[in-house]
Amino acid sequence: MIQDSYLPSSLTDYLPFDVASKLSELPEEAQMEFTYEMSRQEKNLPLAYFLHFMIMGSYGYQNKWLLQLLFWVTFGGLGVWWLALWFLIPGQIRRTNRKNAYKVIRRLMLKYNPKRRFSGHKEPKVDTRQLVKPRPLNIDVNPADLTINNLKKGYMVDHRMRTWKVVDEHQLDWHNGVTDREFHLVSDTDSLYIYLLNDKAHQTVLTMTKVNIFQLDENLERQLATLNRPSNVLSFNGEQYFRESELKGYLFEGFDGDQVRQWFYYSADRKKVIKILHVGRGGSLVATVGQVVGEEEFIDILPNS
């Protein structure tokens, strides 16, 4: 997977998400070739307006010569058609550029990765959930003194003078050998996530809530498609958060695992956190925001009777 984009902003502004996603999977050489081809084929909106005004030639500029001839023969629909095009040309140019982008990316997919197609032959899908299993966890259990590490689905726990029930749990096994765990808690109509972040020598406890990804950055999906990573800095509630290294691995719910990538963002004082989770190849994005807390905030942990 590439980590940087070689595409100018003039292209990424109108590229369809699926084209940008496929392009991000290709090597640097293919991206540069795409940029070169599109620089030759890309239609320019100011030039289209200029040709329309000077010689009524916007259709010819888009290689739509049958429409262009009809436009000339009818003198631009006796002026009505000519006037209407002043409002229609931006959409026409955008669609023409998208159409050209599809043609170029299709050729590059065949050239640089001949097994992949937009249609026709498809490679058999491999269910990675059958190939990987969650790592075994060696967690000490003292029934008389359960800790946050002993949480399981169905357990009850007190946090900040409220009783919460664990309704779901996930294990995240990262390729660097570290394993994190996440628990989904509910209390009445409120929802909370506990994330146990490990670095082999130390465990950090985070409490988090879900937010819409577009509350963080409206271009987040496009950044992942074109740059293969989110931006370095995110803002939330007027405060900046700074991205740290990417984690890759598997998220397990029981014994079913999905490939995931994850990014943490920390505030300047490292007390507040944003987590971006990308589930599956080209899959969903999940964003949570929260803070670092102490393990002592979770007391009276009990199995659900």
**104 and 173 co-located in one domain:** no
Same domain, 92 and 196: no
- Count of Cβ atoms closer than 10 Å to residue 281 Cβ: 12
Write the pLDDT tens digit of every residue in 140-196.
888 888 999 999 999 999 998 999 999 999 999 998 889 999 999 999 999 999 999
**Following DSSP, what letter does each residue of 204-257 receive, concatenated?**
EEEEEEEE-HHHH-TTHHHHHHHHSS--SEEEETTEEEEEEEEEEEEEEETTEE
Query: Do 19 and 63 belong together in one domain?
Result: yes
Q: What is the pLDDT of residue 184?
A: 95
Query: How many C-beta atoms lie closer than 10 Å to residue 304's C-beta?
Result: 10
- Structure confidence at residue 230 (pLDDT): 87
Least confident range from 38-42, 59-63, 207-211, 241-245: namely 38-42
Percent of the chain residues past pLDDT 70, beyond the cut: 83
Judgement on whether residues 89 and 178 belong to the same structural domain of the protein? no
Report the DSSP beta bridge partners of residue 181. 171, 196
Under 8 Å CB-to-CB from 44, ≥6 apart: which residues?
A: 93
pLDDT at res. 14: 57
Residue 134 within any structural domain of the chain? no
Is 239 among the domain residues?
yes
φ/ψ of 72, rounded to 5, equals -70, -45
| pTM of the complete model | 0.58
Judge if 231 and 166 occupy the same domain. Answer: yes
Backbone phi and psi for residue 202, each to the nearest 5 degrees, phi listed first: -150, 150
Task: Write down the number of H helices and E strands in the chain.
Answer: 10, 11
Residues 70 and 192 in one domain: no
Query: What confidence score (pLDDT) does residue 19 get?
Result: 64
Structural domain includes residue 126: no
Report which residue type is found at 108: L
What DSSP assignment string belongs to 2-65? -SS----HHHHTT--HHHHHHHHTS-HHHHHHHHHHHHHHPPPHHHHHHHHHHHS-HHHHTT-H
Question: Which of 77-114 are b and which e, b meaning 16 or more Cβ less than 10 Å from the residue's Cβ?
Answer: eeeebbeebeeebeebbeebbeebbbebbeebbeeeee
Q: Are residues 96 and 173 in the same domain?
A: no
Residues 153 and 288 in one domain: yes
| In a domain? residue 143 | no
Confidence of residue 37 (pLDDT cuts 50, 70, 90): confident
Instruction: Please report whether residue 142 resides in a domain.
Output: no
If you average pLDDT over each of 41-50, 72-81, 181-190, which comes out highest?
181-190
Asked whether residue 120 is domain-assigned, the answer is: no
Better-predicted residue by pLDDT, 170 or 41: 170
Of 84, 112, 140, the residue that ends a domain is 112
If asked whether residues 233 and 164 sit together in one domain, one would say: yes
Examine the pLDDT at 5 and tell me if it is beyond 50: no
Boundaries of domain holding 183: 148-302
pLDDT tens track for 212-245: 988 998 888 888 777 778 889 999 999 999 998 7
Q: How far apart are CA 57 and CA 82, in angstroms?
A: 10
Q: What pLDDT is recorded for position 283?
A: 67
Q: Which tokens go with 169?
A: 């749990």
Which pLDDT belongs to residue 101?
A: 80
Q: How high is the pLDDT of residue 266?
A: 94
Where does a domain end: 112, 139, 170?
112
Is residue 16 within 8 A of residue 105, CB to CB? The reply is: no
Task: Answer whether 1's CB lies under 8 Å from 224's CB.
Answer: no
Residue 252 has a CB neighbour count (10 Å cut-off) of 22
Amino acid at 259: Q
Same domain, 103 and 161: no
Residues 61 and 201 in one domain: no
Cβ-in-10-Å burial (0-12, 13-18, 19+) of 240 comes to: exposed
304 Cβ contact partners less than 8 Å away, ≥ 6 residues apart? 154, 155, 156, 165
Alpha-carbon distance of 104 to 40, in angstroms, equals 11
Is residue 141, in this structure, part of any structural domain at all? no
**Structural tokens at position 143:** 């029934």
CB atoms under 10 Å from CB of 261, counted, come to: 20
Q: Is residue 211 part of a domain?
A: yes
The domain total for the chain is: 2
Residues 192 and 273 in one domain: yes
Average pLDDT over all residues of the chain: 82
